[in-house]
Amino acid sequence: LVQRMQGFGSTIFAEMSALALEHDAVNLGQGFPDTDGPREVLDAAKAAIDAGRNQYPPGPGVPELLDAVAAHQDRFYGISLDPRSQVLVTVGATEAIAATILALCEPGDEVVTFEPYYDSYAASIALAGAVRRTSVLRFPDFAVDEASLRAAFSERTRLVLLNTPHNPTGKVFTRDELNLICSLAREFDAWVVTDEVYEHLVFDGGEHVPIATLPGMAERTLTISSAAKTFSVTGWKVGWVTGPAEAVAAVRTVKQFLTYVGSGPFQPAVAVGLGLGDDVYAGFTRTMQAQRDVLVAALRDELGLPVSVPGGTYFVIADVAKLGARDGLAFCRELPARAGVAAVPVSVFHDDEDAARTLVRFAFCKREDVLREAARRLAQLR
Ligand code: PMP
Ligand code: GLN
């Protein structure tokens, strides 16, 4: 394995899902839902297969999906895009992240991001030979620390990699925090790459603010999202990137040689999903918020753990020190055997592991009865 990929052995999700399987544990580790998404979307994929759409789709994505992504950005955020030049379909958000960083960063360029970070960020930055500079978000509120964010920027900063709503913290960045990021990006003439895969999972009536909608940002922002979370199809791997035409063209150049194209029949199906009514989106958010409330109550009220109540995403972070844990990774490696539940340690998403030594991430994208069963099992740890 090449030097720049040393230390990226196997993802924490694979490790914890394997343990969950081995011990027949309730898997609150890897974030994937246990309920299918909208029927119309699933049926549309079958219809596309039956209609013979089984050969290579066009490189940038099938026209109806390009149109649907542009229409979605306009409908929810008032962002206007030319579907042919400003939208690119990718193999999940994961490919969009990798292709974008590979397209924008020369070896040695710096990428500013927050930690904890989604694990593919560090790996994609490393693949590009770029250098990661991070600012720590601290439990329990995970607020942006202005001084540490500013200190992460330099004349070598090429881009800022943002994620809101944020995995693994569940944090939804505030407008003030986004404005700070904008002003630093402008000051250091950096691109902003924003991962918004949880855009439709913002709770308590909160608002998802795409950074591309802030003044002067559309021309320096590439926005990434995916069908995985919004339509509960994490196995379909349909994502997209939108932004200025020249930047999207650069990402397309890289994407051609990573995967050439994405899976054909799922693309028209995702287009159907993006066209569903506002009530479908709202119902999904409501369901997930109710599931959040079940898991938060179990961890905070029943187990008595300090918890950061997430404003969005699939995830809640708890501090398990009160259960006698001194190390979250060791705790999570034992948890499936000990309690029949799987979770993931937050420290693996950090450069500064001490910032999250006893923090553990639990996923609540599961049916309420499953979450209650997990709660019952976790209660034995008291
Ligand atoms: N970004 C974040 C923040 C995620 O949590 C995930 C994974 N679920 C992804 C990207 C990857 O999305 P996809 O499955 O569409 O590649
Ligand atoms: N994004 C999901 C999570 O954070 C799953 C990612 C994965 O398995 N690579 O749990």
Q: How many CB atoms lie within 10 A of CB 131?
A: 17
pLDDT digits (tens, 9 = 90+) for 164-187: 999 999 999 999 999 999 999 999
Average of per-residue pLDDT values in the chain: 97
Which atom in ligand 2 lies closest to the alpha carbon of residue 11? 9
pLDDT digits (tens, 9 = 90+) for 345-358: 999 999 999 999 99
Centre of ligand 2 to C-alpha 218, Å, is: 28
Say how far apart CA 26 and CA 294 lie, in whole Å.
Answer: 15
Tokens of 335: 């948890």
Query: Is 103's pLDDT higher than 90?
Result: yes
Which atom in ligand 1 lies closest to the alpha carbon of residue 234? 14
Query: Is 382's pLDDT higher than 90?
Result: no
Centre of ligand 1 to C-alpha 150, Å, is: 27
Question: Please, what sign has the CA dihedral across residues 111, 115, 120, 126?
Answer: positive
Which architecture characterizes domain 39-276 according to CATH? 3-Layer(aba) Sandwich (3.40)
Say how far apart CA 134 and CA 240 lie, in whole Å.
Answer: 25
Alpha helices (runs of H) in the chain, residue ranges in sequence order = 12-22, 39-50, 63-77, 92-104, 119-127, 146-152, 175-187, 227-230, 245-258, 266-274, 278-296, 328-339, 368-379
Q: What is the CA radius of gyration of the chain?
A: 20
Centre of ligand 1 to C-alpha 96, Å, is: 10
Which atom in ligand 1 lies closest to the alpha carbon of residue 226? 15
Same fold? 3-37+279-379, 39-276: no
Which atom in ligand 1 lies closest to the alpha carbon of residue 239? 15
Query: Is 236's pLDDT higher than 90?
Result: yes
Ligand 1 contact, 116 CB (< 6 A): no
What percentage of the chain reaches a pLDDT higher than 70? 100
pLDDT digits (tens, 9 = 90+) for 61-84: 999 999 999 999 999 999 999 999
What percentage of the chain reaches a pLDDT higher than 90? 99
CA angle 6, 10, 13 (to 5 degrees): 140
> Which one of the ligands is nearest to 224 CA?
1
Say how far apart CA 251 and CA 272 lie, in whole Å.
Answer: 25
For the chain, domain boundaries: 3-37+279-379, 39-276
Ligand 1 contact, 167 CB (< 6 A): yes
| Those residues with Cβ within 8 angstroms of residue 11's Cβ, 6 or more apart along the chain or in another chain | 119
CA angle 208, 214, 219 (to 5 degrees): 120
Say how far apart CA 69 and CA 1 lie, in whole Å.
Answer: 37
CA distances (Å), origin 250, targets 126, 222, 263 = 19, 11, 21
Say how far apart CA 147 and CA 155 lie, in whole Å.
Answer: 17
Question: Please, what sign has the CA dihedral across residues 21, 27, 30, 34?
Answer: positive
Ligand 1 contact, 163 CB (< 6 A): yes
Centre of ligand 2 to C-alpha 166, Å, is: 12
315-331: average pLDDT: 97
CATH number for the domain formed by residue range(s) 3-37+279-379: 3.90.1150.10
Q: How many CB atoms lie within 10 A of CB 299?
A: 25
Burial class (CB in 10 A: 0-12, 13-18, 19+), 365: buried
Prediction ipTM score: 0.98
pLDDT digits (tens, 9 = 90+) for 202-232: 999 999 999 999 999 999 999 999 999 999 9
| Those residues with Cβ within 8 angstroms of residue 34's Cβ, 6 or more apart along the chain or in another chain | 365, 366, 367, 370
* CB of 86 closer than 8 Å to CB of 242: yes
Query: Is 10's pLDDT higher than 90?
Result: no
Centre of ligand 1 to C-alpha 339, Å, is: 28
For helices 63-77 and 266-274, give the axis angle rounded to 10 degrees.
20
Helix, strand, coil in percent for the chain, rounding step 5? 45, 15, 40
Centre of ligand 2 to C-alpha 30, Å, is: 5
CA angle 237, 161, 78 (to 5 degrees): 75
Say how far apart CA 119 and CA 10 lie, in whole Å.
Answer: 11
pLDDT digits (tens, 9 = 90+) for 270-302: 999 999 999 999 999 999 999 999 999 999 999
Q: Report which protein residue has its CA nearest ligand 2's atom 4.
A: 31
Tell me phi and psi for residue 101, to 5 degrees.
-65, -40
* CB of 370 closer than 8 Å to CB of 57: no
